[in-house]
Chain A
Amino acid sequence: MTDDVFFAGIAELNERLVKREFSTVELVRAFSQRLEQLGPRLNALALPLTAAALRRAKDIDAELKRDRLRGPLQGIPFGAKDLLAVEGQITTWGAKPFAAQVTGETATVLQKLDKTGSVLIGKLSMVELAGGPSYRFASASLFGPGLNPWDRTRWSGGSSSGSASAVAAGLVTFALGSETSGSIVTPASYCGVTGLRPTYGLVSRHGAMALSWTMDKIGPLCHSAEDCGIVLQGIAGSDADDPGSAGKSFYYTPQFARKLSDLRVGFAPSDIEWAETAMRPALQAAMHAIGETGVKMAEIKLPDFPYGALAGTIIGAEGSSIFESLITSGKVNDLADAKQIAGLKAGLEIPAKDYLKAMRIRSLVKQKFRELFADVDIIVAPGRYTVATPLSQALDAPGPDQPRPSVPGLNGLIPAGNLAGLPALSIPCGFAGALPVALQLVGPAFSENTLLALGREFQSHTDWHRRRPPMA
């Protein structure tokens, strides 16, 4: 088995398993050793599950021997953000006060993946409490700062830090992360992997730590858009145990995707100027490559709302209610990040009128996006406007010292898309120096197949998603 297997796509690995080029046990053992060896060097590993994974791999090999084929995920090793419960295992939520928490029931998404025959080999690190209302430093985690495989003096992004860095470094074939406002798109952008934030309600959150009942989503981080489609099909679906469940399934059907020449893609030209100077050539080339796929490009403006204030109020109020006993017991002070502690305490003081006002304005946000998507099918924007930040830099520090454009860009798209419950696909699109640059594609609710079709086409003409970080 060569190192190539650590960066191979899901369908290719599964095909090689079915052809008996190697066994599931051999594959899982190789990935598990790599995860245990390199994971700690990135602060990416929360809990290895090697023994259970090898037992499961043996079962899968027996199935393959009997030609009991379950589909492309059968035998594929993966990792899960440490906010997803596994029965009888420690689930820390990345936070010291929960360092010894043993969870009862396995999360729905992990049960679903188990049915596909994929093999969970470890839990992956995360920012404490998935970031809570806010945090100041990359070190806001029980596991230490998530280190970026492209440059270990830089942050891997949060809050799905370990999920992104583990995929980038080839420690797992795919990983599950979660996003309340930016926690898949940001680490995917910083680590140069493909990340999919599904439509709110498409994937069950049962068994996942709650930060915001109305904004939490669970989604995959993978090597490609193709892999994101395969994993999403495995984890999506109705769940009576999740009150936010949309009651919908997802079938990854690239063969039935809309013709790209029928798609209208909205963008804001000033976005390039909003981005850090070193990122601009990569972003310009990537926007050009999107246009070359045959889609029709159209200039758009983001509906004008105070997205940051809305997301902050809703996540602050819901998060502090969820963690009320942690806050009032004083155990909140054991968290790693002082701004996170202060934000959680202050969240208990958000007046009901502000929360309700924010939720009412959110209805208008949703309506305005519905109108915008009458004109375009997809919005494209930079995944982030800066590259991965240095580990020591405060995350609330002002951005790079450069003139701000006078025209607004789409830089509120992460909170806006999350407030409206919209899906997003983050795709690597180049480098600024040694650090990855990404685009995000955002579409109307339940338009994942359209986003994946454009992402797949982009990745068929570029090789940014196949690049390997130096430490790998």
Chain B
Amino acid sequence: MKLSRRKLAGMAGAAALAAPALAQTPPSPAAPISATPGDLDQAARENNKRISDALAKFEIPPATEPAFQFKA
């Protein structure tokens, strides 16, 4: 399905309406100064998971293409 820019913009608006909750997702908590490398590895993985959950909640129109282009 091809979408016009105008329609895409309208859908973008709808998606943005769903965004406030995500935008307010609390940032990852600061690790204590004494954190060990193991703690930081764990914290980095948990941060990935937190971001992944946040992105999963963000609804976007199926026709939205990623912001890069392959040129043949």
Write the residues of chain A forming the contact surface with B, with a CB cutoff of 8 angstroms: 136, 214, 303-310, 312-313, 316, 338-339, 341-343, 345-346, 349-351, 354, 356-368, 371, 394, 396-398, 408, 412
Residues of A within 8 A of B33 (CB): 394
Expressed in whole angstroms, the minimum distance between the Cβ of B6 and any Cβ of chain A is 11
Contacts of B13 in A (CB 8 A): 368
Question: Contacts A313-B51, A354-B55, A357-B58: A362 and B66 contacting too (C-beta < 8 A)?
Answer: yes
Instruction: State in angstroms the CA–CA spacing of A412 and B24 once bound together.
Output: 11
Chief secondary structure at chain A's binding surface: helix
What 1/0 flags go to B37-61 for Cβ under 8 Å of A? 1001101110110011011101010
Q: How far is the CA of A316 from the CA of B35 in the complex (A)?
A: 21
Provided the pairs A306-B23, A346-B45, A367-B9 are in contact, do residues A341 and B51 lie with their beta carbons within 8 angstroms?
no
Q: In the complex, A304→B19 CA distance in Å? A: 6
Q: Give, as a whole number of angstroms, the nearest-CB distance from B40 to chain A.
A: 4
For residue B51, which residues in chain A have a CB less than 8 angstroms away from its CB? 309, 312-313, 354
Residues of B within 8 A of A (CB): 8-9, 12-13, 15-16, 19-20, 22-23, 25, 27-28, 30-31, 33, 35, 37, 40-41, 43-45, 47-48, 51-52, 54-56, 58, 60, 64-68
Residues of B within 8 A of A362 (CB): 66-67
A368–B5 alpha-carbon span in the complex (Å): 12
Cβ contacts under 8 Å, A397 to chain B: 30
Is B30 in contact with A396, judged by CB distance below 8 angstroms?
yes
> 8 interchain pairs (CB within 8 A)?
A214-B68, A304-B20, A346-B45, A356-B66, A359-B67, A360-B65, A368-B12, A394-B33
A307 and B27 CA atoms in complex are apart in Å by: 11
Q: A342-B37, A363-B67 are in contact. Are A305 and B45 (CB under 8 A)?
A: no
Q: Which residues of A contact B58 (CB under 8 A)?
A: 306, 357, 361
CA–CA, A310 to B13, complex, Å? 18
User: Which of B52, B54, B60 sits near A360, CB closer than 8 Å?
Assistant: B60
